[in-house]
Amino acid sequence: MDLNSISLAPIRAKTVAILGYGNQGRAQALNLRDSRVSVVVGARAGAGYRLAEKDGFQPMAFETAISKADVVMYLFPDQVIPEIYRETRQFLKNSHWVGFAHGFCYHYGWIEKIEHCQYFLVGSKGAGAVLRDAFERGSGLPGVYALENENAELEILVQSYAKAIGLTSHVLLKTTFQEETECDLFGEQTVLCGGLMELMEAAFNTLVDEGFNPEMAFLECCYEAKTIIELWMKYGPYGLTQKISPTAFFGGLTRGQRIIDEKAKAEIKRIFQEIRSGAFAEEWKKEVEKGEPQLQARRERIKTALLEKTYQGLVRQGLN
């Protein structure tokens, strides 16, 4: 895809309703406005509403925002989208294009589709705050988009939207709702929010249990994860082998596979199958119905753990 050929004109000819002013909502609304796209923000009375006002928007009720827009973006936490969608779907008209930043609710049937609307997703490969930072620096993030049905007019519009929020400076991949949803969940669970976090914490705790200074353990097992990933991204898997010491390379090659062994690989596969079969989505639905007790307990545990205290201490000393 020739990203330079994507024009802002199609999205500038529309009005976009950003519903929800959180991580993605704020970043997308600000980037759209800076790209000279007409934006209205729908928010409930709360923190997002106040922040939108501070940012110079005039937030309004969801149905009012929908009535003013051609493109309607549902940018709430995935577990909240079904409820708000149910309450607002009556206001979606024939001419509305309905978008999400992640395919979860659409793919697992958590929302009931309306025949006369066209659905799409456009997602950034990075959190909202990173998307906004990159945009402000004149760059952007890799992005993906998917359309419910092949539709040339919608595709041009969605590509234009992607450009306006800063997703066309590197890579913009066309995907499907299924591919985006399954790959996104899989990456989060096995690497980004699951495997990597558990690995850093387990390694940190091991050094601390052995009597080492927690700050030393943090720098070795957590801070350096950031620097090695930056190197890996800059030079690639092979290039990295020439940037690290032979001792580090040998230690990694003889020990890494003891952690990611055949049992771990089978578990990774099982995690994928739970995503594919919908078992994970069902488990998440039950957690939401119970008021998210596991999430709250885990958050509390992380908040009070030595890892967090060590991180806060290092940040106070200027670590970034």
Ligand X SMILES: NC(=O)c1ccc[n+]([C@@H]2O[C@H](COP(=O)([O-])OP(=O)(O)OC[C@H]3O[C@@H](n4cnc5c(N)ncnc54)[C@H](OP(=O)(O)O)[C@@H]3O)[C@@H](O)[C@H]2O)c1
The DSSP 8-state label assigned to residue 42 in this structure reads: E
Helix axes 47-54, 23-34, angle to 10 degrees: 20
- Which lies closer to ligand X via its Cβ, residue 51 or residue 231? 51
- Which lies closer to ligand X via its Cβ, residue 9 or residue 45? 45
- Could you give the CA distance from residue 272 to residue 275 in angstroms, rounded to a whole number? 5
| Least Cβ distance, residue 121 to ligand X (angstroms) | 9
- Which lies closer to ligand X via its Cβ, residue 144 or residue 154? 144
- Which lies closer to ligand X via its Cβ, residue 167 or residue 307? 167
| Least Cβ distance, residue 232 to ligand X (angstroms) | 22
Positive/negative CA dihedral, 133, 134, 140, 145:
negative
| Least Cβ distance, residue 41 to ligand X (angstroms) | 9
Is residue 144 within 8 A of residue 173, CB to CB? The reply is: yes
- Could you give the CA distance from residue 96 to residue 29 in angstroms, rounded to a whole number? 18
| Least Cβ distance, residue 282 to ligand X (angstroms) | 18
Q: Is 202 helix (H, G, I), strand (E, B) or coil?
A: helix
- The residue ranges that bind ligand X (CB under 6 A) are 20-25, 43-44, 46-48, 75-78, 80, 84, 100-102, 123-124, 127-128
- Could you give the CA distance from residue 224 to residue 245 in angstroms, rounded to a whole number? 14
- Which lies closer to ligand X via its Cβ, residue 91 or residue 249? 91
- Could you give the CA distance from residue 192 to residue 249 in angstroms, rounded to a whole number? 23
Cα distances (Å, whole numbers) of residue 16 to 56, 89, 92, 97, 303: 16, 16, 13, 9, 37
Q: Which is the catalytic residue, given 102, 107, 116, 170?
A: 102
| Least Cβ distance, residue 239 to ligand X (angstroms) | 28
Is residue 89 within 8 A of residue 114, CB to CB? The reply is: yes
Say whether 107 is catalytic: no
Please choose, from the candidates 41, 7, 9, 10, the residue with its C-alpha nearest in 3D space to the C-alpha of residue 24.
41
Polymer length of the chain: 320
* Enzyme catalytic residues: 102
